[in-house]
Structure 1
């Protein structure tokens, strides 16, 4: 199939070389958007490409699958299988990293087409619309287009680009930078290959434009009804600006945008609910902390992709037999969840009193326990044949409709922890401790701990808060959500090798940079 596809691409290339006038149409194609109500399709397409395309996996799913694999907080149940990148063998192409690249650029091209349509009309493609429609629909759609292009570039940058180094040259040219619609064969086949600096500047520019244009929330009767179902708003754009600035090591700006999300959301988002509430919605609903989510609840077009089972416990409504990812043993010891996981199966009190362990993790028992000694209501490994107890993520398929459970993409807890890290960097330990306490208290089970959080040794003050505390809290909070490697690269810290062996790897290492697809490099003249 790949040979056929490559031959087709090469045939088209040859044909285009012989026929440059192909791009000079005698009668231009009519716009697919003849009225404002149709223009919403311009964003629905990229949303689908990035977050819903596919069955076993979509681009967003693959993106955080590979990021989960390369960090320092996971071990792999099937280390002989090189499919998932646990060995950080990023010199080799993987089918699904290629899909991240190809589909991200499909989405970028789709967005460029729609933005060009608006620009060609001087910003007023539908001149007869009302002021209400201008504000609540046209500006919103353009804001979403910028958000989606920014998100596609953010995924590409964190997958295929060398980490951003504050004050460094950041001049590596690794991925194409396209912000306009191709109008000729030369333009289509020879795009600019952006530097690391230019790619991140584009990410910031798109999210900033989205931040300026997007509304804070859905307004019934004025906006397209689908806008209420998990799509990007001003706070999502601010959260992505916080992520992007954090990735670039611009901690003051990251703190500024994280603070906007936390302090200015008008009560739309808070941490008042149990941790699981962000992960158990199989309807048009979200947890109170969920800023953006994939609406997988739709029984016709929704459904979680099945490769989530590589790093989570559930497959639809049953325990998944092939889950590959589990918490790294050094991490378990550092957190105090298990003291010696390969010889002592005891779960420590630090785990038992943490609601994220009890609600969003799952204990899988060793495969070598004799049948006669197995306890009821326990899951014993069968397919991967592990000989010790493991702790795995249990964040997928947690709603009543299992595989149709919505997938959180941006959560408020992350923003608190980002602000805590940035405040600590700035020397504001009081703010860092306060934010860390908010996240820790939400996860604290006082009934198990037999003490209120504020009276416990875990309560943090400005005199004892450390960067390690914040980082470990973030590891627990965001476990298997693809965040850990981005966090370490954003903090400009070495990445531990965990169960792969002793030592650590520099955050700038190519071990965390996946290769651009071979076909792209061979047919894209920009790489020549």
Structure 2
């Protein structure tokens, strides 16, 4: 067809207006399923959530790097350089935010009643739930963006740096899309709080069979997930009383849905529509059609699908191992200490790797010796991925109750309530205590925390062990507003406000977004 054949402008006139993709309530669930997929399950080798905590694991003070050089992973905190996967965190998060904004506006434009024939029950169990999930997802996307691309929030500080766009409305034209409002650090965190508050208001406490869309039971956000994220957000902002308040809501008001009655492994070994008793939210990777764990988790965990991964890049920092009593000096003494052996998180969620330089004739059967990385000392790596019978199709916990207990413990400690802090710390420690190995019950051991002996370091080290390689450590230290240790990178510390923990936005975004000009 010749170009001249297109001169008839009437050809481009729409005979009818664009139709909404959601013509009935049952279809509107797709509005939230899509953004969930964008953030948590897109791609075999990469998804945004996985990339986010990959880089969190890399830049903290509790891991060392096994492979020579850095190149891609950011262990040297070379955050002045763009990384392909941090760019993906930025781009895909905003894709999810745009999708959410479209859906929220669809409801707002209809005065909150986009489907006139809805019953009151439909509104309660489905429309309000879906809208609550939309706000939750937008809040979660901005939480990942803020903790990746924004300087740390400083309580009482100006927090006026403008580093990322703040989009809460659908763009109406190209000019609107290319010149968005640039949010200050304060505005971004205020929006995160507002979104999670709205989510907590609208979301139900739990799935109700026969009332809600069946997919809602598969790990999606509920009222307690929103409260947990409010706790995280207030904690990141240094508002410890509010962080404690929302952590307490999750712990005390969940009606028995969540507890720490199971071994630690139970949060990481579910390959069906199931969760551990402490798991508040998870990625349902068990779905053999659309599921499967992200394969980049292998860079900070022991397993690759059904076999031991030979290219795992991270292991526990040697200074950390000494401080927590697991190994006194891995470079001269390979003994695993009693503090590790009596800890179920070591036996169930960590893996010991032997150095590559041990001669074949001296290798002990049944042990794993490094082959593709040039490690010359014994290491301890995380073993939290692919632990269910479905291997790579094992659900990935995103929010766990143990974190809420430890958040409440540190916030109570800072408020001077050492009794509460010790009680919460003991709940987490006792769950991980192996009395058969220790030879004594936890309550009778010297590890029992009391109002008289508890310290901030005890709580922080316990959290390091509990949340090892779940992307928590660097955000925890920045939330405490404390300097971050350099670990095996060298002596000294780095201020929590350092740009070493802030990744640059994509180059293309800076070139096309007028807000950066």
Q: TM-score, normalised by structure 2?
A: 0.97
Residue 448 (str. 1) matches residue 437 (str. 2): yes
Tell me the equivalent position of 1:110: 99
In the TM superposition, residue 526 of structure 1 has moved relative to its aligned partner by 1.1
In the TM superposition, residue 28 of structure 1 has moved relative to its aligned partner by 3.7
Of residues 141, 163, 176, the one that matches 1:187 is 176
Tell me the equivalent position of 1:424: 413
Tell me the equivalent position of 1:49: 38
Of residues 268, 273, 276, the one that matches 1:287 is 276
Tell me the equivalent position of 2:108: 119
Of residues 376, 391, 394, the one that matches 1:402 is 391
State the superposition RMSD in angstroms.
1.1
Taking the aligned partners of 1:182 and 1:57, their CA distance within structure 2 comes to: 28
Taking the aligned partners of 1:444 and 1:275, their CA distance within structure 2 comes to: 10
In the TM superposition, residue 79 of structure 1 has moved relative to its aligned partner by 4.0
SS state of the match for residue 84, structure 1? coil
Of residues 427, 434, 448, the one that matches 2:423 is 434
Q: TM-score, normalised by structure 1?
A: 0.95
Tell me the equivalent position of 2:153: 164
Residue 336 (str. 1) matches residue 325 (str. 2): yes
In the TM superposition, residue 370 of structure 1 has moved relative to its aligned partner by 0.9
Of residues 161, 166, 173, the one that matches 2:162 is 173
Taking the aligned partners of 2:18 and 2:226, their CA distance within structure 1 comes to: 33
Aligned 8 A contact 1:79 1:86 in 2? no
Of residues 59, 64, 76, the one that matches 1:70 is 59
In the TM superposition, residue 25 of structure 1 has moved relative to its aligned partner by 7.9
Of residues 517, 523, 526, the one that matches 2:506 is 517
Tell me the equivalent position of 1:58: 47
SS state of the match for residue 407, structure 2? helix
Aligned 8 A contact 1:251 1:422 in 2? yes
Unaligned runs of 5+ in 2: 1-11
Residue 348 (str. 1) matches residue 333 (str. 2): no
Residue 313 (str. 1) matches residue 284 (str. 2): no
Residue 372 (str. 1) matches residue 372 (str. 2): no
Unaligned runs of 5+ in 1: 1-22
Render the CA deviation track for 1:349-405: whole Å, top value 9, x for unaligned.
000000000000000001111111110110000100211000000000000010000
In the TM superposition, residue 24 of structure 1 has moved relative to its aligned partner by 11
Residue 477 (str. 1) matches residue 477 (str. 2): no
SS state of the match for residue 38, structure 2? helix
Tell me the equivalent position of 2:4: none
Aligned 8 A contact 2:67 2:374 in 1? no
Aligned 8 A contact 2:70 2:76 in 1? no
Taking the aligned partners of 1:238 and 1:28, their CA distance within structure 2 comes to: 40
SS state of the match for residue 420, structure 1? helix
Tell me the equivalent position of 1:20: none
In the TM superposition, residue 280 of structure 1 has moved relative to its aligned partner by 0.1
Count of residues paired in the alignment: 506
Structure 1 residues 134, 292: CA separation in 2 closer, same or farther (over 3 Å shift)? same
Tell me the equivalent position of 1:15: none
Structure 1 residues 24, 46: CA separation in 2 closer, same or farther (over 3 Å shift)? farther
Taking the aligned partners of 1:335 and 1:185, their CA distance within structure 2 comes to: 54
